[in-house]
Structure 1
């Protein structure tokens, strides 16, 4: 049991202080962000015409007004009350993108700190 505790403490103490770990987390969150964005971007593209997908709730005039909406937040409107993009997509994309940015900042901070530490170590050896 002491060996497991020792390995756990060592891993926990050094793992979060490595820039590579944060870089891997940022790559993972970037991929998950892209997957969530794709899920929203292709919502309602079930191979049918958008009018058939929406059914009776399709409003051509409302949809025409919103064809040039920005790329975020995602919407695929049938009418003013019915959006084909699931409600979880936009908050998930925003949250994962923010988490990715935090992981990238941590990667840079730890990378710079490691570089400074190695430079000081080289100066002490000379």
Structure 2
């Protein structure tokens, strides 16, 4: 993909996630999920979104639905109980149970291009793309 805005988003994301202790850098594509593929969650997710909106002049950070995509910080005993079956599923199938909606880099790229976050429009567009 030869798109300067995409390249800026990719570079920003690499800068924010840092280098992994083991293994290679994750491949970043528009379909890379910030929460599930990159493991950004809790306070780190809030900081990531705020920095991204600030750096790329995206309006409406105050209306960004953090809880829609990310879990909170700390230990939630109910979430811990739900995690037990998810752990068994991960061990059995190698796939994570998704408890929140996915937030892809492509969705953030759309917001950067529009200079605003619009949950409904962005999710609708990406839901149609995932069916193609």
Q: TM-score, normalised by structure 1?
A: 0.27
**Higher Rg:** 1
Which structure shows the higher helix fraction? 1
Q: TM-score, normalised by structure 2?
A: 0.26
